[in-house]
Structure 1
Amino acid sequence: MTLRIRWDEASARRMERQFLAVPAPTGTPVAEVVGAMLGAHAQVLSAAEVSVGVRAEGVTRADVRAALWEADRPLMKTYGPRGTVHLLPSAELPFWTAALTAIPANPSQSADVRLTAAQADEVVAAIGDALGGRCLTIDELGDEVVARTGPWAGELVMPAFQGMWPRWRQVMHRAGQRGALCFAPNRGRKVTYTRPPRFEPLAPDEATASERGLALLVRRYLRAYGPATAPHFAKWAAAPRGWALSLFTSLAQAGEIEEVDFAGAPAWVAAGDTEFPGAPLRGVRLLPYFDAYGIAAQPREVLFPGTAYERALAGGQAGNYPVLLVDGVVAGVWHQRRRGRRTTVTVEPLGRLTARQERELAGQVERVGEVLEAKPELVVGRVTVGGHA
């Protein structure tokens, strides 16, 4: 008999496993929290700091930065899922490199701009060689790559924000995903890059490593965000839908995943992972830009019900607005503006909050202030800034 799972059951389990139902206790390693999220989106580092901090008691932005830049660096800032900048546990790099490099890429450049497979490999190797034991800015790295490959790599052919980028930059994210590049501490205002410490591959040969990495990635995704479908996974991983469908079929045949009924439609969980909470989750949470939960949890139209789908998404894309969660679904947006040691947190609920929810919201704002090491002020009203502001 097919197991039937309701939305509120799935939502409660996801929140528990994300440390959003109950924060991780004091002393929990920051890397463990990030691992439970399957990485923290870090294009805006302060947002990543809040993502981690609201999931762990006592953690502040200083703790996240210490894990990134000090001592043994249990966190790595690099290119993760979807080719975007993430914080990932350093100990998990063998898994991530095996899994991410096995996901087919959707070409994003025109044929006259695109690197061939051989050229892409050459650039990634040049990046890794150049960064061995050094921290380089993007311009310094570009000079080194061109010197190791040829003038073709430096041709200004990629449309960028304020001009044109050199050809080689289209595979920077692949260099990160292959373990040839990660971020290093800034040099003044300039971003720098280095090479991660050497690590043992997930398996002795590339084909086996890819297979193991993909299977582990799907199981971990389903444990964190399941039940889910192959198209849900494809959206999260920025992978071709047909490829994801074939992958799920093969994993089902191998007994790695099993089918369930999720709110009346077929979906998947990791094999044997069929325990769900018996009661729905209640409470108020604040999640920052591009928080992992808002990006990965599906179906999106259920997570963003009613007016939330228009107000808190950008053309159906999640992450552009920090969101207010009430009882596990999006029920508003928010924004914080910092001035010195103070920050004003403006929250726009999309419906009336109860007295209990108002108290919980005030507590969440206090927690955001603690993470950012600032004195917070709560304002309930219209958020007037646009997405990703």
Structure 2
Amino acid sequence: MTSRTAKSRSWDEASARRLERQFLARPAAPGTPVADVVGAMLGAHAQVLSAAEVSVGVRAAGVTRAEVRAALWEDRSLVKTFGPRGTVHLLPTAELPLWCGALTAIPTGPSAFAPDVRVSEEQAEQIVAAIGDALDGVCLTVEELGEEVVARTGPWAGDLVMPAFQDLWPRWRQVMHRAGQSGALCAGPNRGRKVTYTRPPSFAPLPGEAALRELVRRYLRAYGPATPQNFTKWLAAPASWVASLFARLAEAGEIEEVAFEGAVAWVAAGDTEFPGGRVRGVRLLPYFDAYAIAAQPRESLFPGEAYRRALAGGQAGNFPVLLVDGRVAGVWHQRRQGRRTTVTVELIGRSLTARQERELGEQAERVGEVLEAKAELVLGEVTVGPHA
């Protein structure tokens, strides 16, 4: 337990530690494997692949989207699949045993679908097995995959009953994320404009409890100090279940309490060193960047007016953000035309020093380099709404 006289760690200290460990204080050195950068982030959100490319690129010197795509489609050191919160992420292929072991051990809550839409647990397992069999050694579009799933399970799996984007999808797609989280599915290279899916390289998932314990320790090293409530939100897991998991880790001496901003939080056991002072500097983070989503408390990351302007109903990630000295100080948007891209940055309730303006220009140039375009920086209002 934390001593009442222990020094309370500040937001600036925690922020500096998180930024350093995620290569946001200093980019990873040239030659650092892209998968190592993604691993330090605990995955790069990749619903918008260009945003994931920028997330990785701003953390790694010299890396462009070409290197990220090569890691995905050529050397396969990365996979694009369903990760934490059931959302699409880039994950290191070598870490799939950890991720799949942990994600499949999270209790599933009640289905959000109507009774006549849902699948039973037995049907869900049949679908996941059918997906894995169908994708072994091939790349299929979602339509082709659906045909294979129905052929291996039954017509019920293809019933158009699942509401999605003003349309109806076949029943089997409601557990597609489970197939990704279990290692039966990942994204394949596009076929023209068509998305394809394949099966990742064969691996044996870690046992669930061991994987969960390691994931908590890695989370705390990347984003700690943190509370069970913070981890619950990041993983989208049941709160009481997470509280029990943290209690087991604490009893085993694998995590320990620290005072953080005057309250109790947790770090991995022995991981109590913090940098002195805050990290100075300007950073541009894209949609759904890992740091913007995971760093807590959110009110400290998005201070004052930034909480209203840079969040969508309290949800982080829906706006690309400008960080100044580790806190959100603006939003931005990039619009590409051919080989050029315009980076528009809207400041929130502040101005920049001459040094910060120079750094912002360098950051805009870096975003352009990652996207293999020449960037032009514009300071002004961002009129684009939040990403869905």
User: What TM-score do the two structures reach when normalised by structure 1?
Assistant: 0.97
**Equivalent-residue separation in structure 2 for 1:3 and 1:250 (angstroms):** 25
Could you tell me which runs of 5 or more consecutive residues in structure 2 were left unpaired when the two chains were aligned. Answer: none
Matched, 1:384 2:383: yes
Matched, 1:218 2:221: no
1:95-118 deviations in whole A, cap 9, x for unaligned?
A: 110011111223332333221111
Q: Name the counterpart of 2:153.
A: 149
Matched, 1:363 2:362: yes
Amino acid at match of 1:100: L
Q: Name the counterpart of 1:116.
A: 120
Q: Name the counterpart of 2:130.
A: 126
Matched, 1:179 2:191: no
Q: 1:201 deviation in Å? A: 3.1
Q: How does 1:22-171 map to 2 (within 5 A)?
A: 22-70=26-74, 72-106=75-109, 107-171=111-175
Q: 1:184 deviation in Å? A: 0.3
Amino acid at match of 1:151: P
Amino acid at match of 2:87: T
Q: 1:66 deviation in Å? A: 0.5
**Equivalent-residue separation in structure 2 for 1:347 and 1:165 (angstroms):** 38
1:63-91 deviations in whole A, cap 9, x for unaligned?
A: 00001001x31011111111111000001
1:213-261 deviations in whole A, cap 9, x for unaligned?
A: 0000100000000000001000000111111111111111111111111
**Equivalent-residue separation in structure 1 for 2:132 and 2:309 (angstroms):** 42
User: What TM-score do the two structures reach when normalised by structure 2?
Assistant: 0.97
SS of the residue 1:360 aligns to: helix
**Paired-residue identity, %:** 77
Amino acid at match of 1:302: S
Q: Name the counterpart of 1:269.
A: 267
Amino acid at match of 1:296: A
Amino acid at match of 2:202: R
1:285-323 deviations in whole A, cap 9, x for unaligned?
A: 000000000010001111100000000000000000000
SS of the residue 1:267 aligns to: strand
SS of the residue 2:296 aligns to: coil
Q: 1:3 deviation in Å? A: 4.9
SS of the residue 1:5 aligns to: coil
Which deviates more, 268-277 or 237-246? Answer: 237-246
Amino acid at match of 2:156: W
1:110-142 deviations in whole A, cap 9, x for unaligned?
A: 333221111110000000001111110000000
Could you tell me which runs of 5 or more consecutive residues in structure 1 were left unpaired when the two chains were aligned. Answer: 203-208
Q: Name the counterpart of 1:349.
A: 347
Aligned residues: 382
Q: Name the counterpart of 1:239.
A: 237
SS of the residue 1:4 aligns to: coil
Amino acid at match of 2:203: F
**Equivalent-residue separation in structure 2 for 1:298 and 1:113 (angstroms):** 36
Question: Pick from 245, 250, 256: which aligns with 2:254?
Answer: 256
Which deviates more, 160-169 or 39-48? Answer: 160-169
Q: How does 1:187-206 map to 2 (within 5 A)?
A: 187-202=191-206
Q: Name the counterpart of 1:205.
A: none
Structure 1 moving runs of 4+ over 3 Å: none
Residues 149 and 276 of structure 1: CA distance in aligned 2, closer, same or farther (over 3 Å): same
Amino acid at match of 1:316: G
**Equivalent-residue separation in structure 2 for 1:135 and 1:295 (angstroms):** 31
Amino acid at match of 2:311: L
SS of the residue 1:276 aligns to: coil
**Equivalent-residue separation in structure 2 for 1:3 and 1:33 (angstroms):** 31
Residues 254 and 3 of structure 1: CA distance in aligned 2, closer, same or farther (over 3 Å): farther
**Equivalent-residue separation in structure 1 for 2:307 and 2:233 (angstroms):** 17
**Equivalent-residue separation in structure 2 for 1:268 and 1:3 (angstroms):** 14
Amino acid at match of 2:340: R
SS of the residue 1:243 aligns to: helix
Residues 237 and 256 of structure 1: CA distance in aligned 2, closer, same or farther (over 3 Å): same
Q: CA RMSD in A?
A: 0.9
SS of the residue 1:261 aligns to: strand
Amino acid at match of 2:360: L
Amino acid at match of 1:294: A
Amino acid at match of 1:297: A
Q: Name the counterpart of 1:206.
A: none
**Equivalent-residue separation in structure 1 for 2:289 and 2:115 (angstroms):** 34
**Equivalent-residue separation in structure 1 for 2:204 and 2:173 (angstroms):** 27
Amino acid at match of 1:115: V
**Equivalent-residue separation in structure 1 for 2:235 and 2:314 (angstroms):** 16
